[in-house]
């Protein structure tokens, strides 16, 4: 992900590619902004990042889950708080399962502007319900992680029609000059 500022003003907020897929009747989200050790190449006027999209965690803290958490904290959590914290982090925050989509993002400085090239490859595009790039995605549960930022007001870049038109093995490619 990146944020581009000019004269202290936010020009572009980009939290990477995001796909919504229907698998076995359920909607799942594959996103590129989850933390991982991506392949990174830094040069004088370019940055290239490569990796796999990851499945966003679907687990939510419902009222029932919060009640169960209270019971766990009053019993086991009193004696093993760090173990309970680590378990909750693994369930709700960390641990990325790779989705079957490989991305390459290249940011090049050319003629006083950034040229951003995104490529996404998959062996199957038929399950894609929607595709896009947003400026405000968050795919993990972190208390207070959704405080307001101006980037949330930027519209999504809808790539659904492009993604649905692709055949297996084809690459979704997008170039933007910022």
Do residue 46 and residue 67 come from a single domain? no
Do residue 77 and residue 126 come from a single domain? no
Do residue 125 and residue 149 come from a single domain? yes
Do residue 78 and residue 109 come from a single domain? no
Q: Which domain holds residue 136?
A: 2-57+98-177
Between residues 56 and 147, the one the model is more confident about: 56
Do residue 155 and residue 71 come from a single domain? no
How far apart CA 114 and CA 5 sit, in angstroms, is 12
Do residue 50 and residue 64 come from a single domain? no
pLDDT recorded at residue 130: 92
Number of domains in the chain: 2
b/e for 97-111, b at 16 or more Cβ within 10 A? eebebbbbbbbbeee
Confidence bin at 145 (pLDDT 50/70/90):
low
């Amino acid at each position: 992900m990146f944020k581009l500022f000019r004269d202290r003003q936010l020009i572009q907020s980009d939290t990477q590619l995001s796909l919504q897929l229907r698998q076995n009747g359920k909607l799942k989200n594959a996103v590129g902004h989850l933390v991982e050790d991506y392949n990174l190449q830094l040069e004088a006027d370019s940055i290239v990042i490569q990796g796999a999209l990851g499945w966003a965690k679907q687990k939510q803290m419902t009222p029932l889950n919060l009640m169960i958490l209270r019971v766990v904290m009053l019993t086991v959590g009193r004696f093993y708080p760090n173990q309970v914290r680590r378990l909750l982090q693994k369930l709700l925050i960390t641990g990325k399962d790779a989705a079957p989509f490989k991305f390459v993002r290249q940011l090049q400085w050319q003629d006083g502007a950034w040229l951003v090239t995104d490529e996404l490859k998959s062996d199957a595009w038929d399950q894609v319900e929607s595709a896009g790039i947003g400026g405000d995605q968050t795919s993990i549960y972190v208390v207070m992680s959704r405080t307001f930022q101006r980037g949330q007001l930027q519209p999504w870049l809808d790539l659904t029609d492009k993604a649905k038109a692709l055949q297996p093995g084809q690459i979704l490619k997008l170039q933007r000059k910022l």
